[in-house]
Every structure is written in structure tokens, then in C-alpha cells.
Structure 1
Amino acid sequence: MLKSVLAACLFLLFVLPTFAQSSRVVRVQDSLTREPVIGATVRTPNSVKPLIGAVTDANGLATISGLPTSVTGLVASAVGYETGSFPLTAGSDTLVFLLKSVDESLDEVTVSATRTNSRIEDLPIKVEVLGQEDMNEESAVVPGNISSILGDISIIHVQRTSAVNGNQAIRMQGLDPKYTQILRDGLPLYEGFSGNLGVLQIPPLDLKQIEVIKGSVSTLYGGGAIGGLINIVSKSPTSEKPEFTALLNRSGLKESNGNAYYSQKYGKTGLTLFTGYTNQQAVDVTGDGFTDSPQIKQVTVHPRFFWNPSNDSRFNIGYSYTTEHREGGYLPRLEGTAAANTYQNITDLQRHTVDFDANHNTSETNSFTLKGALSTFHRKNTDYQKLSDGRQSSVYLEANDLKRFGKQQLIVGANLTVEAFRKNADSTRLVDYTYSTIGGFVQDDWQVGEKVSLQAGLRVDHHNTFGNFVLPRLSLKLKPSDPWTVRLSVGTGYKTPNLFVNQTPGALNVSLIFPRLLPIDVATVKAERSVGTNMDIAYSKTFENGFSIQVDQAFYYTYINTPVVAQFASLSGTLGAYTNLVNAPYNVFSVGTDTYVRLEYKSFELYLGYNHTLAKRADKNSTDVANNSYLPLAPQDKFSTTLAWENEHFRFGVESSFVGRQYLYNNERVRNYWIVAGAAEYHYNEHWRLVLNTENALNVKQANYETVVTGTNPTVQPTFRPVWAPLEGIIVNAALKYTL
């Protein structure tokens, strides 16, 4: 008898709770419009027998009664929507399930730079995405690099950093290029020595999208993302049918491009392969004897292999190889008709990168990711007949765990970055160094309610040379009504000193060529620290007649303490005074607004963007002009506009941009200018496209306003004015694109 009573008690204690039943109220909404979905079915998963479910009413509400406590999730489905699985969370509040419409899922944009792979509409931070359609168009308009499409964004200013070798860098929010962090597939591959040349020589044919995050986001990836972050995302295979695209291009600047892309799934595996070749001859457009467009011979190969062993696991590994020979300088010297001591700038580089990304869903609500990259970069440069020769090896490893529970997404992770520079025998005074940074981060995305969400982040980094850094960050998103979204972010950042990271000279004629650089005095030069805030007010609505409008008004402010600048050193050599890095006796701030409007109606699309930035050096205790001047080469006004029209066989587009109130050193103001571009595309069928494009149709050149190359003996030892306007003038190109 006693045994029977004990068995019954055990049954009641352990078994009956499994069959305890409860009721839950669920609201089903459209994930984009947040409108209620009427007639949606909400039920238990197929593994639960018998199935229990209900249908939503006119308010999108469904009450499900009799749920066993063992059920941890529900399934929601509706006509015209993708079926979704959603976790059951504790509490008595109404659960909100967001369903993605079938049409929306085809064009849905997810952002990988934030690590949660969230939809762009759901992010508490403002992200601008140039998507697949933009990449497809740009691959034929400017097939050699992505600088043109980035320059179309009003808050971005693409700055040419050399008068002869064509190198370019990116300014965001008026700050120096070193404060913009560039990632490739979420990996910081272009840090230190490996990022000083040709970062924007990335063809768009290989890309899925480009993600632009404005303002301080150093909490996500560590030091450097003070002005903003740009993540360049590669394509992945999408179909078991082969995808193949080939492109041939020729420009009036004697540039030829041949690019090809292949992609295909093979069951649980997949492959993408990009190959690109650029051959550009040296051209002197202005007639001053120096190359305005350098000679470039470049080969790029980028294969990636994908493997999905199960629905919960995925793995990809890629290899990227780039080799490039680049020559600029006195054109007769390049052609072999001038004396051997005349000016020539020659660069040979090779870049090898192996990267991987592994992800496993340990449960419906938990995902673990391990990713990393190993790369080597070798650059040999001859400038002013002085050789610099160095190699950098880099390692990046990251592990993170993403946990979804209730209305929150929590990601915790750690990463390691190693940058090892080794100098070969050359003419410089540079020295070997190894920098390593180990960091940990945590980020919590919390959907507080239907109209409020928060994102809080904290990073702690330890740098082996420059010490420890603690970086908190907070973002808030408000949705007061369907068309309106308000985002507010506050974040901190840091930047460690580095000789090779797009330094802007602290004064006119301070040279940054490697033969003039002195090693960093790590005992006296300290890392820069910053704080920044961004606010966006956005309105987005699509009307019944198909007309859609997007308006975004942004405000931002960034403050940087004791920035590291390049200055004349007391030592001098055959090329003049050496250059060293020091902490400036002033601080830097940038404050501004950014406005853009995007209108679409039937076959027409119009984009208008205006950016106003005031970026200054500021020291309230000094009356020195140099300490209270505008940041050089940072336009205060930039206006951009794009108008496009498309039908079944044709597409036409006109772009223009105005660059105004730009200053050099000691508040020397330069001329304002307009850049106008136009493109026409003809689709013969779904396979063939012919594109005719014109860049800088008004033929604006800096040489129209001043002499760019000066000096007492310019053919041997020239002095170059800072580059603040285009050098090449008008560029016309024609491209033929074939897609299988």
C-alpha cells in the first residue's frame, strides 16, 4: 500500500505538470507595416500531438487555450506570408509575432555588421545599405572599384590622398579617413600597413551589398570606427542553377577591365568565384608632364566555398589574392624618354587572405559563431628614388554567442587582433613592431514594447602597447507611429597610433611618404579617445498608387581628445625634414546635419542628399590660428542628387554633387565645384547589357584653379599641392555585361 501511495505521489509531482495547461494571447502583425494580419493560423509545432491552434481576428489577435507547459514555441502562418516559428516567453503580456510577406522576403535587407543579422528596419542604430541592385548597376558603370558608389552618399567624401598614384580614402562626418573603419564580410582586413593603398580597388561585381553605419561604433569591432563603419559584404550562392556574369569595360582614360563571377549551389555545398583584371595606362590629362591617372596592372581572384551540413550549421571559407603594379610620376620617365633621376613613384603589392565563418544553432534560440582571417600584405614602393619595403601579417579571430529570449537578443563574444609589421632592407627608418589587441564585448537588443527598443553595448580591449580601453554604447529606437522612426545613439571610441593609417598632415607640406617617416615614440604618443552622438528622424511611407517616399534627417556630434597628427621632426635627410607622429595640443570636434530624401514612382527614382559639417581643431586656451582652424580637406557642404528612369529595355540616370566651403591648412579656402555624371543602359534581353557612362561631365579639374605640381626642380623633386578636387577631368567608359 505504501509503495502505491509513493508511486502516485511521484506521478503527480513529475508527470502531471507536463500536462498542465495554460492560455496565451498572440498578436500577429506584418513585419514591415506592423498592420494586423487577419486570418493567420497560430498553432503548436508538428511535434506536439494533438495540434492546438487558433485563427486571428480583425485585430490580428488569437487566444490559444489548453497549451501544455512543455510547449516552448508556436508556429504562425498566413496566405502571402512566410511561415514563422516563435518562442513562448514568460509573463502574461500579449505575444507579438511578426510575419514576413512573400514579396518583402524577396527584397528584405539584413545587416551583418551588427552581428545579429537583423532586418534593417528593426535595428536601433541607423544603417544605410547599398543593396544588390546598386551593386549590379555599379558593376557596369564603374567596374573597377566602389569609390564612385560610396561617393554618391552625401555624408561620405571620397578623398584622393596622392596626386600621382591614385590612392583614395573615405571621410565620414568630416573626420579624417583614419576614423572610418572598413570591414570585408565583418572582418577588419585593412588595418595598419595593409590598409594604406588600394582599399577601394574592390570591384562591385563580387558584392552583395555595402553597409554604412554612421557615427561611433567602436563597441562593435574595437578601435577605429569613430566617424563610421563600412562593411563590404560578398555574394553567396543562392540557387542550384549556375549564375555566371562576365563584364568587359573600356574608358577614355585608357583603363580596361575584365571581370567574371560564378556562383552555384550543389546540394549542401556551394561555390562562388570572382576573377578580375585591370589594365590602366598612365595618362597626363592637364599637360603638366605628371600622371593624373597612374599606370595600374591588377589581378584579383576570390573563391569561396560554402557547406551546410544541416539546417542548424553552416560553414564557409574563402581565399582572396590581389597582385598589383602601379606607376605614377613624371610621364616621360615612365615612358623611358627622360633622365633616370626624374621623379617616379612605383608600387608593387601582393595581398593574400584566408577567411572563414562557422555558425551553429545550438537551439531555436541560441546561435554560436566562430570566424576569423589570416592575411599577408607585401608592399614595395620607390618614391623620390628611395625604396620602402615591408610586409605585414595579420590575424583576426572572433567567437560570439547569440541568445534570443523573450523580447531580447543578447550577444557575448571575444576577439583577438594581431598586426605584425616586418621591414625589409630599404631606405626608411621604420622599425618592426607587433601590435595585438584582445577584447571582449556584450550587446543586448531589447524590444521594450511595440514602439520602443534599446541596444546597449560594452567593449573592453587590451592593447599590448597602448593599454586598456572601456567602450560603452547606448542606442534607442522609437516608433511613435507607422511612418515615423526616431533613433538616438551615444558611443565612445579610441584609435591607437599607427604610421600607416591614412594620416592627415598636421600642417602644409608635411610629408607622409615612408622614407620620411620616423618610428612612433610609444613612450610619449598616446591613443586617441572619442565620444560621439547621432540622432536620426525618419519618415517612410508607400501609397496605394505605388508612390513611395523616404525622408531622413540626421544630427551628429563627435569629440576627439588630443588627436595624433603628423608634424615636421627636428631631424632631416636628403628629402628634407622627417615626419613624426605626436599628440596635437588641440582637440577635434565635428558637428553637422545630414538630410536625404528618396522618392519612387513607377519607373522613376529620385534621391536628394545634403550634408553640412563643421569640423574644427579647437583649443580654448590658445589663440594660435593653427589650433582653431577648420580640419583640412573636409568640405562643409555637400549636396548630392540622383535621378533615374527605367523601362523594359532602357535605364537612364543622372547624378550630380556639389562640394563647397572646403579648406586646406591655416583656413585657406579653395573653390567650390560641381560634379555631374550620366549613364545610359540598354538591356537587349535578360542576358546582355550595354552601358555608356560619363563621369565628371563638366570636366572639373584642380589644375583649372591652381598649379598642382610645384618646386624649384619639379621634374626631379616635385612638391605637390594637397588634392582637393578631381585631377583626371571627364571620364567616359563603355561596358558590355553578360549574365547567364
Structure 2
Amino acid sequence: MKFILYFLLLTTTALGQQTIGVGVRHADTKQPIAGATVRVVGGNTGSITDSTGFARISVPNTGPVRLKISAVGFETAAETVMLPSVDTLQIALKPAEEELDEVTVTTTRTGRTVADEPTRVEVIDGEELDEKANMQPGNISMILRESTGIQVQQTSVMSANATIRIQGLDGRYTQLLQDGLPLYSGFSSGLSIMQIPPLNLRQVEVLKGCQSTLYGSGAIAGLVNLVTKDPTRERELSFMGNGTSAGGLDLNGYYAHRNEKIGLTLYATRNTQRAFDPNRDNFSDLPQTSRTTVQPKLFWYPTETTTVSAGLIWVGEDRTGGYMPTLRTENTAGFTEENQSNRLATQFRLDSRFRNDWSLTVKNSYSTFRRTITQPIQNYRFDGVQQSSFSEVSAFRHRPKTDWIVGLNVWTDAFRQPVSAGNQMIYNQLTAGLFVQNTLMLSEQFSLETGLRTDWVQTRIDATGRTSARLLALPRFSLLYRASERWTSRLGGGLGYKAPTIFTEDAERLSFRNVDLTSMSTGVEQSLGLNWDVNYRTELGDETTLSINQLFFATRLNNPLVLSTMPGESTPGSALLSFQTANGFLFTRGLETNIRLVHKAIHGFLGYSLIDTHRRYDNLTGPIPLTARHRLYLTTLYETERVKTGFEVFYTGQQQRSDGSSTRSYVTMGYMAEWKWVIANVLKGSLFINFENFTDVRQSRFEPLVSGSALQPVFVTDIYAPTDGRIINGGLKLRL
């Protein structure tokens, strides 16, 4: 009887009503806002926008109806609708003055804000990116180096190559993505962060801990997703010029605009660097570099619910380091190392919403990367081409209480090395994966995200004919608990893996000299990771906010791939090395503390990380070399409409060298200032100056970086401190 009464009530309520569509977008960027609430004022009906910013809501057939539209981080809007003449409504929400931690993330694919996402996501937004670009506009290394828990590890004195370490793990265990596409792995990983300019980025998203469920191989320590800007109806044309006391020059230009159907972004940059020898040992500490980057991207909007984009990335670079007299005149004999590289990559993406609560995404990338390492005086050359492709189809369904993501992707990777008799294929790798993820609102306090991925990985070593195939199942979970508006907590964990590779930090450090590439192991490295964090945020007055985030983490990596001396080899310095699967594990654990205090125009940030690492494989024990146990970062920023100035202090604790000895701790400091101006509301610009590491901390002050002769130098392999020392840079930014 109760069921019949309930059915009659629903039927009666439905009579005299209609459904209208509401599209909600960012007032400035025109991007859709997912998770916005749309409700009828004075009624009990409402809806939530999906990943495309669209929702449907039931309203009366006649009469004016007042709607209230709200989203975290935006000002609430109210709209009066005259019915029945309106069937679709478009709403633009203005960002609130205080948007800390309330930006929408793309890496998790749900379109949720940081505050509502069960997975812990750290977002470096556009304002912070702009500040870091003043310090180092040539690449993204500064952006990542100054993030808590991330270490940018330099692997070569000569070429200044570097990789990303998250929570103490080798760079190959972190995925580096651009707009969700894996473009920077493998052979290019030692150069990638030194070749990616930051000025076309909208935000950088960092996920720490195992993320293999959505992104597959390599996301054991975490992933970094570089999100580029989309074109808006307001044209953007900007330029930047920067010069450094070390002989560096950076020139950048960016253009973006869209109309009803077509949009375009175009980014181009030219970066040069003279060989720089601050310690006067006649060997460069910054290599002589010239690099050109061009990134055009075309957007098509056939309907209000569909977006298609296609882009191209071309990077050409030549970097040479070594004996300074040889670099200056080319007539003096001395050791040099040249890295020539060329990257050509394509990007394609289609996003389409259908049936109101379903969205389809199709994306593809293809990349070819060629790199040649040459040491003429020692008659050494290493040359290779890596070709990779990535294709994915995924569907997303948003409901008021639950989100579903299901997808299929295929990743191919091949490395070919030219030899005198013709091209020699070193390896071919194929990975096919199927994944599903669900985000469920259990209550107002709890949200649970669960996922499962199944990957089939096939690796073939062509030189030996060895082929292996593995089927892997990767579950993952994240639980969000909202204790109150001030307190939240997240607990997450999962399994991960890394497909076999010959591109490791150890091989990069040796420039692949004496490394037997055909010995590449076909074993898969597997891991188990766990993260727990607590977040507190409060207002200490009308214009003061305090936020504290405390993270605890642990990761165990079984049977790591290591570079070892081949059996029967015993000659020091020239023994042939091979990739072998170790019998044992790596274990990292620790904590990160992040404290942010904002008072009016003053911003303060304190970041501390404790990373405790252990090696327990073969005959090795003790910490992972070159991992600082303690790191502390303190920065202050004062910003008004016309002035921005900041000061930073970075403490790096002791690290263990490869031979078991300890390094010394050190402190670096930096200062930055920027003056902004506007002419007739048409031309906006600024002048900036930055004093990086102005106390001139260098590893060469603690120990020599090179010994031996000009023809046969021996370089330090354990780089634990800056090698370039004090650098002052400054420049001009213009926006039309």
C-alpha cells in the first residue's frame, strides 16, 4: 500500500513539470565546471553537473522559476527562468577571490575539484607557475624541485641531465604526462624535464603513490601531469624574454583564441645557454645548449557537447659540455660530450557528451625521439631512436551519487639502434590494458574510489629472440572522510608495476657506455603502496587562512631491475654491464608536511619531507644512494596588483653516496621581484629579476667534480648538490 501511495505521489508531482538543461562554465576560461550544484530556490529538486559541465533539472511548466547555481571555488549565481519558453540555460560562474585547493583536476578523469576527489592530488596552479617561470623559464625543473617530496636528481656533470624522484624512488617509477598522454618516457627521460618549457601550462597535477590503475606501467612512485592551456574567446597573445648571468637566453611566445567552432593555440620558444664554468676547473658545469620548441594545437567544436583537438610537438636540441678551451675555440684537444636530440610527437583527443550523463573520450599520441651521444676524443658514440604510440578509448558516467570510468588502451614502444650493417632493433614492447574505476558517495562524510586494471605486457628482445608475456591485475582504492568543513582525511593504496626497460638512472649516468642493451631483462617489477593524509583548513580572521596537510606513505618494490657487472667481467671501469632482476626488494617510507598561511597580500609556505629508504636485494643493504632523508622548504610571497616579491630557503640533509659514505647537508636561498604595469588597458607587462642560490652553494665547493687530464677526465658520478651555483636572471613579459 505504501508503495502505491509513493508511486501516486511521484506521478502527481511529475505532472505539470518539464526538464531543462543547464550548462555551467568558468566565466574567464569558458571551461566546463563539473560537480556544480543546480537547484530550484524554494523547492526540493536539484542536480549536479557532469564532467562536461551539463546537468538536467525538473522545473514547473509555467511561471518564473528561480535557480541557484553554486560550485566550490566560485561565486554563487542566481537566475530567473521564464517558462515554458526556455529549455536550455547557459551559466557562467565567476571564480571566488579565495580559490586555494579548489581547482578542478583532470588526472583522475572525474572532473572533480581537489577538495572532492578521494585521490590525493597536489595542484600547482597558474599563479604559482607564473612565479616559477620568473625563476627558470627554460624548463620545468624548478617547478618540480620546489615541491615537497620531489627530488630532481642530476645524472651528468657534462650534460646536466636530470630525472624526477618521488618519495625516494628512481625516476623510471614516475610517469610524466602531458594532457594525460605519456610522451616523455624511456630514452628521453634523462632530458625531458630539461626540455619542457612551462609557459603554456595551465596547471601541473602531482599524484604521489601508486597510480597504475588508470595509467598503467611506471606510475609506482606517482605521476606528474602537465596540463596545457585551452583557447578562450578572449584572445591571448604573450611574449617573454629572459637573460641570465650564466649566459642563458630564453625567448617565448604564446597565442590562443577561439570562436564558435574553431580554436587555436601556438607556443614557440628558443632557449640558448653558453658553456658556464663557475668553479674555474676548465670543465663546464652548465653545457652549451641551443633548443627550439614549437607546439601548435587546433581545436574544433562541432557541437556544444563535443570538442576535438589535434596538436604537434617538435623539439630540436644540441647540448655540449666538457673542456672549456675546446668548447671556446674547437682547436684545443680536450674531452667533450654532445647530446643531439629531436622529438616529433602528435596528439589527438575527442571529448563528447551524450545521453546527458555519459561522456566519451578518445585520445592518441605518437612520438619519435632520436638522440645521439658523442664523445669524440674517446671515439665513443651512442645513437638510437625510440618510437612509441598510445591509444585509449574511455567512457565516463556521472550520477548524483556515483561516477563510473571504464576504458581500454594500447601502448607500443620500440627502440632501434643503428649499426654499420643496418638498423638493429633492440626491443619491442606492447601493453594492452582494460581498466574500470568507480567513485561512490557513501554518505555526506565518506566517498570511496575503487579501481581495477588488467594489463597484458609483451616484451621481445630482438637481438636474442627472447620474448616474454605477463598478465597483471592491479587493484586500487582511495577513501575520503570529511569530518567537517575544516578536517578531511584520505587513505589510499594499490598495486603497481614497471615494464622492463634499459633506460635507468644508472645507465643514463654512464651515457650507456659499456652497457649491454641486449641483456635487458624481461622481468616485471611489481609494487605495493599505501598513502594516508590529514588536511586541516581554517580562517584565522576575515583575511587570514591557514591550511595544513600531513601525509604518510610507504612503498615496497619487489625484484627491482639493476645494472650489474656481467658474469666473467672483472676489469674496473671497463667491465661490461647488464640489466638483471635483483633477488630482493626496495622499501621507502616517510612523511610530508605542508603548511600554508595567507594573510591579505602575504603568502607563506613551509614544506618538510622525511624519506627513509632501504635496499634489501642481492648483497646490498642500506639507504638508496643520493636520497636526502630530510628536506625543508620555506617561502614567503608578497603580491599586490603592481608588485610581487618572494624569498625562499631550501635545506637538503645528508645523503649516502654509492660507496656508502655520507655527503654534507647544505642550504640554498633565493629572492625574486616583479613589477607589473598596464598601458591603456591594452598592453600589460612586467619586469622581473631573480637571484637564484645567491649564497653560491655548489658541490665543487665541497669536493672536486673532475680529476685527471683534459683528454682523460674522471667525473664525479654522485651529484648531490647544485653544480651551477649563483645565477641571476631577469627579463620582460608582455601581454597584448
Shorter-chain TM-score tier: 0.7 to 0.9
Render the CA deviation track for 1:194-242: whole Å, top value 9, x for unaligned: 3332333211111100000011111110011111110011111122x32
Contact kept, 8 Å, 2:426 with 2:517, in 1: the verdict is no
Structure 1 position 525, deviation (Å): 4.8
Against the structure 1 CA distance between its residues 476 and 512, is the aligned structure 2 distance closer, same or farther, given a 3 Å change threshold? same
Output the CA distance in 1 between the equivalents of 2:697 and 2:553: 31
The yes-or-no answer on 1:357 pairing with 2:354 is no
Per the alignment, residue 324 of structure 2 pairs with 331
Per the alignment, residue 616 of structure 1 pairs with 614
Output the CA distance in 1 between the equivalents of 2:38 and 2:60: 28
SS of alignment partner, residue 612 of structure 1: strand
Residue among 502, 505, 515 paired with 1:503: 505
Aligned-partner residue type, residue 716 of structure 1? Q
Per the alignment, residue 313 of structure 1 pairs with 306
Aligned-partner residue type, residue 195 of structure 2? Q
Per the alignment, residue 607 of structure 1 pairs with 605
Contact kept, 8 Å, 2:153 with 2:165, in 1: the verdict is yes
Render the CA deviation track for 1:470-506: whole Å, top value 9, x for unaligned: 1100110000111011000011111122112x3347x
Give me the TM-score of the superposition, normalised by structure 2: 0.86
SS of alignment partner, residue 406 of structure 2: strand
The yes-or-no answer on 1:661 pairing with 2:654 is yes
Aligned-partner residue type, residue 561 of structure 1? N
Output the CA distance in 2 between the equivalents of 1:284 and 1:248: 24
Contact kept, 8 Å, 1:160 with 1:723, in 2: the verdict is yes
Contact kept, 8 Å, 1:43 with 1:54, in 2: the verdict is no
Per the alignment, residue 395 of structure 2 pairs with 401
SS of alignment partner, residue 117 of structure 1: coil
Of 330-339 and 463-472, deviating more is 330-339
Against the structure 1 CA distance between its residues 100 and 290, is the aligned structure 2 distance closer, same or farther, given a 3 Å change threshold? same
Output the CA distance in 2 between the equivalents of 1:580 and 1:338: 37
| 1:144-155 mapped onto 2 (5 Å cutoff) | 144-155=138-149
Residue among 422, 433, 448 paired with 2:416: 422
Against the structure 1 CA distance between its residues 561 and 246, is the aligned structure 2 distance closer, same or farther, given a 3 Å change threshold? same
| 1:675-694 mapped onto 2 (5 Å cutoff) | 675-685=668-678, 687-694=684-691
Aligned-partner residue type, residue 124 of structure 2? L
Structure 1 position 53, deviation (Å): 9.7
Against the structure 1 CA distance between its residues 453 and 100, is the aligned structure 2 distance closer, same or farther, given a 3 Å change threshold? farther
Against the structure 1 CA distance between its residues 179 and 152, is the aligned structure 2 distance closer, same or farther, given a 3 Å change threshold? same
The yes-or-no answer on 1:729 pairing with 2:725 is yes
**Structure 1 residue ranges without an equivalent (≥5):** 1-15, 25-30, 56-74, 85-98
Output the CA distance in 2 between the equivalents of 1:169 and 1:427: 34
Contact kept, 8 Å, 2:68 with 2:76, in 1: the verdict is no
Contact kept, 8 Å, 1:42 with 1:76, in 2: the verdict is no
| 1:178-577 mapped onto 2 (5 Å cutoff) | 178-239=172-233, 241-336=234-329, 339-340=332-333, 342-383=334-375, 384-425=378-419, 431-465=425-459, 466-500=469-503, 502-504=504-506, 512-521=510-519, 525-569=522-566, 570-571=568-569, 576-577=574-575
Per the alignment, residue 638 of structure 2 pairs with 645
Contact kept, 8 Å, 2:184 with 2:192, in 1: the verdict is no
Q: What is the root-mean-square deviation in Å for CA atoms of aligned residues?
A: 3.1
Output the CA distance in 2 between the equivalents of 1:578 and 1:430: 20
Against the structure 1 CA distance between its residues 475 and 331, is the aligned structure 2 distance closer, same or farther, given a 3 Å change threshold? same
Structure 1 position 710, deviation (Å): 2.4
Contact kept, 8 Å, 1:639 with 1:659, in 2: the verdict is yes
Output the CA distance in 2 between the equivalents of 1:632 and 1:430: 34
Per the alignment, residue 67 of structure 1 pairs with none
Segments of 4+ moved more than 6 angstroms: 31-38, 44-49, 52-55, 426-430, 572-575
Structure 1 position 572, deviation (Å): 7.9
Aligned-partner residue type, residue 674 of structure 1? V
Contact kept, 8 Å, 1:461 with 1:470, in 2: the verdict is yes
Contact kept, 8 Å, 1:428 with 1:517, in 2: the verdict is no
Residue among 591, 594, 598 paired with 2:589: 591
Q: How many residues align?
A: 674
Output the CA distance in 2 between the equivalents of 1:334 and 1:168: 22
Of 530-539 and 559-568, deviating more is 559-568
Output the CA distance in 1 between the equivalents of 2:394 and 2:96: 29
Structure 1 position 101, deviation (Å): 6.7
SS of alignment partner, residue 680 of structure 1: strand
Structure 1 position 631, deviation (Å): 0.3
Percent identity between the aligned chains?
Answer: 33
Output the CA distance in 1 between the equivalents of 2:454 and 2:392: 14
The yes-or-no answer on 1:719 pairing with 2:715 is yes
Output the CA distance in 2 between the equivalents of 1:280 and 1:459: 44
Render the CA deviation track for 1:102-161: whole Å, top value 9, x for unaligned: 434995511111111211111101111000111222233311011112111121111111
SS of alignment partner, residue 191 of structure 2: coil
Contact kept, 8 Å, 1:33 with 1:482, in 2: the verdict is no
Output the CA distance in 2 between the equivalents of 1:179 and 1:597: 27
Against the structure 1 CA distance between its residues 219 and 292, is the aligned structure 2 distance closer, same or farther, given a 3 Å change threshold? same
Aligned-partner residue type, residue 129 of structure 1? V
| 1:66-81 mapped onto 2 (5 Å cutoff) | 76-77=68-69, 81=76
Contact kept, 8 Å, 2:287 with 2:321, in 1: the verdict is yes
Structure 1 position 429, deviation (Å): 12
SS of alignment partner, residue 290 of structure 1: coil
Structure number with greater Rg is 1
Output the CA distance in 2 between the equivalents of 1:317 and 1:51: 45
Render the CA deviation track for 1:402-445: whole Å, top value 9, x for unaligned: 01234110000010101121111379998522111000100001
Output the CA distance in 1 between the equivalents of 2:470 and 2:704: 45
Contact kept, 8 Å, 1:317 with 1:355, in 2: the verdict is yes
Render the CA deviation track for 1:507-527: whole Å, top value 9, x for unaligned: xxx9632232102435x6511
Aligned-partner residue type, residue 436 of structure 1? L
Aligned-partner residue type, residue 361 of structure 1? R
Against the structure 1 CA distance between its residues 396 and 35, is the aligned structure 2 distance closer, same or farther, given a 3 Å change threshold? closer
Give me the TM-score of the superposition, normalised by structure 1: 0.85
Contact kept, 8 Å, 1:32 with 1:121, in 2: the verdict is no
Aligned-partner residue type, residue 220 of structure 1? L
Output the CA distance in 1 between the equivalents of 2:367 and 2:37: 48
Aligned-partner residue type, residue 587 of structure 1? F
Contact kept, 8 Å, 1:43 with 1:53, in 2: the verdict is no
Structure 1 position 667, deviation (Å): 2.8
SS of alignment partner, residue 131 of structure 2: helix
Structure 1 position 46, deviation (Å): 8.3
**Structure 2 residue ranges without an equivalent (≥5):** 1-7, 18-32, 47-55, 80-90, 460-468
Per the alignment, residue 133 of structure 1 pairs with 127
Per the alignment, residue 3 of structure 1 pairs with none
Output the CA distance in 2 between the equivalents of 1:139 and 1:257: 11
